[in-house]
Structure 1
Amino acid sequence: MIRTPLRPLARILDARRKGENPDAIERENLRIRHEQMRDKARLRAEGRLLVMAVMFFCAFGVVGARMGTLAASEPMEPRAQATGASIIANRADIVDRKGRIMATNMETFSLYAHPQQMIDPERAATELVKIFPELDHDRLRKDFTGNRKFMWVRKKLSPEQKQSVHDIGEPGLLFGPREMRLYPNGALAAHILGGASFGREGVHSAEVIGTAGIEKFFDKELRDPAREGAPLQLSIDLTIQSAAERVLLGGMKLLNAKGAASVLMDVHTGEVISIASLPDFDPNDRPRPLTEGDASDSPLFNRAVQGVYELGSTFKIFASAQALELGLVNPGTVIDTSGPMKVGGFKIGEFNNKNYGPLSVSDIIVKSSNRGTGRMALSIGSKRQKEFLEDLGFFEPTPLEIVEAKGGQPLLPQKWTELSSVTISYGHGLSSSPLHLAAGYAAIANGGHYVAPTLLRQDGPRLGPRVMSERTAAQSLEMLRKVVTEGTASFGEVPGYHVGGKTGTADKPKRRGGGYYKDKVINTFASVFPTTDPKYVLIVTLDEPVETSGTKPRRTAGWTAVPVAAEMIRRVAPLLGLRPDVETRHLTGIINTSN
């Protein structure tokens, strides 16, 4: 912009020649400049006022149009514009397959203190210790009489405890409402549920979060307001779970076992009807994890899922099934099981140094011959054996919907040699969980399909990929039946239910230094019932059992795990809706006098 000087030199010189006052020129130029600036400011302000006027006009127009629309519309009852999900702040319930409560919420109160507002803090400390003996009186009195302005006293109170604290009459003791997770069945299905605790906490509310088990696996879903309080339904049947745990506990105590586990699974849907691990705990008062020693010594350890063991001769049916599938043998093929047999410089022996001689494939399973399955494994080959076991799920943790399942990673040999193939064929050299074994036996029972175990209620069969032919599965199932009727699992017979299965007795490995204990075993019985129309697989595993009713201690699975499994089937089969197949017999010596 070109600025015009207020005292232009040409005009000043001209004014002096004419005798005029040069200052008048400056005043006139200043007046003109001020008038120009005033005109520009007025125009700018008028423009702004015009824009604001248009905006107000539009706003009032919209409001007026909306008011007119509402006035012309029909009257209606007011409705909430948001769903009620935002109001649902509690955690969703967990129910069993029949809708019975396994985990729910209960309204309770927390207890906190404002020491600065207390009238008699020492008396308050004394009275609180009478109500809660686990509190430290000296520490409580020091906190109450110190400079603290706020402190938690108890996170959860029962109604009786709340009333007792209220009766103290101390204004500095206050209550905060909150919800807590309640497991009304106590320790029943504890390892499935896991437990919950408080997350973010405030005076008037607390966030309930899952800490283990299915509570943690489905933590987001259980806290999702969009569920609108819909419960999470599991495949577990509480009645069957209770019966299984009761039988398992009785067997564990009777056989002096350190621990025990069981898995009952539907062979067509993969639903886990019951899964138990002992010793257990109460999720309402979940114990702290061990900070030293062996994790399996803790009641929190889930032996059915996290426990990976060498499951012994229960693996022999997989070796024979693969040999049948490949056409290398048939059930009647005779294999010489005589010794000696050496593989990789190691001698392969039989239980109690037996020498069975020539045996059919079926008899190898019935008599549980190590050499017989070892020779079948050599004919199969390491590569094909690995592929078959991988198809059966023995290379990865089971996909069960609890966080602990990830810890059940099978232990595989670093190098899969011929010796590894032989020992794995009879259950040594590969460690897996009882749940892995249940899935493997389910493939035999359902006609040859792998089915993934699940804790969620299913609407129907969900068979996975085929891992063996239906013919192979049927032949293997017939062998498992013979093990009960003629072989090492004779105590497993349950009249009317046609049980088939395979025993497994595995020496327990030492924690340090390698090698195995001579007098400690892990026994397993893997069973299918009824073999006439297979519906369920039951796995029972006992840690360090010993049967002492005879003159000598007996530690084999036939004397320990098998009777426990048989009693369990006897209890749960009717609860599963299975009718016993009772054979009718001709009654002799009875004369029909009706004619």
Structure 2
Amino acid sequence: MSRMGKLLRKLAPVNAPLYPAGRAHLEFEGVRKAQGDQAKNRIIIAIACFGLIYAVIGGRLVQYGMRAPETVSSIGRASQLMASRPDLLDRNGEVLATDIRTVSLFAEPHKIVDADEAVELLATVLPDLDLKGIHRKLSSNSRFQWLRRQLTPKQQSQILALGIPGVGFRPETRRFYPGGPTASHIVGHVNIDNKGIAGMEKYVDGQGFGDLADAGLTVNEDINPVRLSLDLRVQHVLRDELSAAVERYKAIAAAGVVLDIHTGEVMAMASLPDYDPNNPVEALEKDRLNRMSAGTYEMGSTFKAFTTAMALDSGKVTMSDSFDARGSIRIGGFTISDFHGKNRVLTVPEIFIYSSNIGTARMADLVGIEGHKEFLTRLGLLSRMRTELPEVAMPSQPREWKKINSITISFGHGVSTTPLQTAVAAAALMNGGKLISPTFLPRSREQAETMAVQVLDPATSDNMRALMALNVARGSGRRAQVEGFDVGGKTGTAEKVVDGRYSSAVRFNAFLSAFPISEPRYVVLVVIDEPKPEEGKHSATAGLNAAPTVGAIVRRSAAFLDVKPHFGNGARPLALSY
């Protein structure tokens, strides 16, 4: 020990510390306080940071909540998310077609852990799945595969509960038709991607909606519905009576239309057998053809109405003229005779009500081949009909018209046209001679006047109304009469071609009518394909089946069409002398 150390030892107490106790305590307290202040500052900074983050999040949520909703957004291709379609309504606002929200099941195969297990689980909810096909999809190297389109909410919840990784749902829309098959051939249907492929559904796409869907644009605002000219009440009556006729007469098919003669509006149109557009695969069956506009037929004796109108309108024939119907006509190796011949000279009204082939042929011969062809063309019976419905067939006619063609066409053989065209041409015979194209959309009488074409002299129309009334009062159309509604019409019983020859055992029957015939407002046409004779009857002519079917339709639908009955002295009978 050094001398200095020894000296300090002597001066200091034996147990005294090297430094004062107070000073050591102060230094320790200072360090602890500094560390405490530093921790407190860190906590304050952390709280401030979290507070700032939550404030930003809250502010953004408020901003999003207060933002006005976007009306249009681009979602990509239409196959990824389908645009909603406008509702289809009848003229009274009843829904014919609407969209419902649904989901479709898809998979991302690259995220599937066990394809075998996934298939087994999905089969518990969707037992009708193609298990091999689904397994192949789930085992592929693709990144997206459809598994099932348009699931029900119950199926969606059950699949969600399975918890299968790599399987998800995509929102879609599904078309729903509340009336089922009631107006299927008019409304049409859509495919799995909600695109219209038939009927007015296809027409709507052609008016611009299809371009919107192809671009993948969805509109959040309600799309204005499309209102049709159809009256769902009349449509139900028409289809119901056609169905009853098919069953009663054991026919293979039937069809009909109710047409407003002053506007061209189709109030009702049906063709049986039809299909349920909610299950559009039924439309692929060959017998589900829309016979009214997409099928062409020889319309039989209903064409005698046009031949008679042609003869009267030409000025070469008057209502008081007579024609020899005592013997058959031999031409081109064929014999033209009457079904129930009177074997005497017949006046024009008698030719009409007795449906004389011979008398009608002589009137056509008087007009001539070129005049005959021109008249039918003028009435639109030889050209493709223009209307909104896409399914419209082209009529057929001889390549070269000869005398034999003109004669047979005069009573409904040799030219095939659509029943709807026949009804449209008949409307021109009833409404004063104006040809108005048919429409499945609402049209006012003023709008119709702007597009109407005068094809007949009004006096010819007056005479045809009288003849149609006479035929129901005294001729083959008696069973179409409905008390109080003055039905007028013309029957047509056409033999169908079997193995290249006309067969008297297989017929295509029609009844072409208008009511109330004193002041016509509607044309009603019914066709029945291959009806069988009822028990106790030996034949199945149009007067025995198509005519009473029209009468039933008029009786049930007149009130819906705002046609009031007239009885007794209030009626306005048509006077006709010959």
Q: TM-score, structure 1 length as denominator?
A: 0.78
RMSD over aligned Cα atoms: 2.5
* Secondary structure of the corresponding residue to residue 494 of structure 2: strand
Q: Is the alpha carbon distance of 1:390 and 1:113 closer, same or farther for their aligned partners in structure 2, counting shifts above 3 Å?
A: same
Matched with 1:439 is: 424
Residue 168 of structure 1 deviates from its aligned partner by 2.1
- Does the 8 A contact of 1:339 with 1:355 survive in 2? no
Matched with 1:410 is: 395
The separation in 2 between residues aligned to 1:392 and 1:79, in whole angstroms, is 60
Confirm or deny that 1:524 pairs with 2:510. Answer: yes
Quick one: which of 51, 74, 90 aligns to 2:84?
90
Matched with 1:541 is: 527
Q: Is the alpha carbon distance of 1:565 and 1:132 closer, same or farther for their aligned partners in structure 2, counting shifts above 3 Å?
A: farther
The 5-angstrom pairing of residues 569-580 of structure 1 reads 569-580=554-565
Residue 85 of structure 1 deviates from its aligned partner by 9.5
Residue 118 of structure 1 deviates from its aligned partner by 3.7
Confirm or deny that 1:465 pairs with 2:450. Answer: no
The separation in 1 between residues aligned to 2:172 and 2:208, in whole angstroms, is 17
Matched with 2:290 is: 302
Quick one: which of 169, 176, 183 aligns to 2:163?
169
Q: TM-score, structure 2 length as denominator?
A: 0.80
The separation in 2 between residues aligned to 1:378 and 1:79, in whole angstroms, is 79
* Secondary structure of the corresponding residue to residue 236 of structure 1: coil
* Secondary structure of the corresponding residue to residue 494 of structure 1: coil
- Does the 8 A contact of 1:124 with 1:168 survive in 2? no
- Does the 8 A contact of 2:327 with 2:343 survive in 1? no
Confirm or deny that 1:555 pairs with 2:540. Answer: yes
Q: Is the alpha carbon distance of 1:177 and 1:438 closer, same or farther for their aligned partners in structure 2, counting shifts above 3 Å?
A: same
Quick one: which of 347, 365, 379 aligns to 1:378?
365
- Does the 8 A contact of 1:181 with 1:197 survive in 2? no
Matched with 2:332 is: 344
* Secondary structure of the corresponding residue to residue 306 of structure 1: coil
Matched with 2:198 is: 212
CA deviation digits over 1:336-358, x for unaligned, max 9? 11113123342111115x34311
Matched with 1:334 is: 322
The separation in 1 between residues aligned to 2:248 and 2:540, in whole angstroms, is 13
Matched with 2:20 is: none
The amino acid that maps onto 1:128 is L
Q: Is the alpha carbon distance of 1:289 and 1:82 closer, same or farther for their aligned partners in structure 2, counting shifts above 3 Å?
A: closer
Q: Is the alpha carbon distance of 1:86 and 1:245 closer, same or farther for their aligned partners in structure 2, counting shifts above 3 Å?
A: farther
Matched with 1:31 is: none
Runs (5+) with no aligned partner, structure 1: 1-77, 200-207, 586-595
Matched with 1:565 is: 550
State how many pairs are aligned: 488
The separation in 1 between residues aligned to 2:564 and 2:342, in whole angstroms, is 41
The amino acid that maps onto 2:190 is A
* Secondary structure of the corresponding residue to residue 537 of structure 1: strand
Runs (5+) with no aligned partner, structure 2: 1-65, 76-81, 213-218, 571-578
CA deviation digits over 1:216-237, x for unaligned, max 9? 1231436276997122111111
Identity of aligned residues (%): 37
The 5-angstrom pairing of residues 579-594 of structure 1 reads 579-583=564-568
Q: Is the alpha carbon distance of 1:133 and 1:505 closer, same or farther for their aligned partners in structure 2, counting shifts above 3 Å?
A: farther
The 5-angstrom pairing of residues 41-440 of structure 1 reads 89-145=83-139, 147-199=141-193, 208-221=194-207, 223=209, 229-287=223-281, 297-299=286-288, 301-351=289-339, 354-405=341-392, 408-440=393-425
Q: Is the alpha carbon distance of 1:130 and 1:350 closer, same or farther for their aligned partners in structure 2, counting shifts above 3 Å?
A: farther
- Does the 8 A contact of 2:354 with 2:475 survive in 1? yes
- Does the 8 A contact of 2:271 with 2:291 survive in 1? yes
Residue 144 of structure 1 deviates from its aligned partner by 3.3
The separation in 2 between residues aligned to 1:118 and 1:85, in whole angstroms, is 32
Residue 475 of structure 1 deviates from its aligned partner by 0.7
Matched with 1:72 is: none
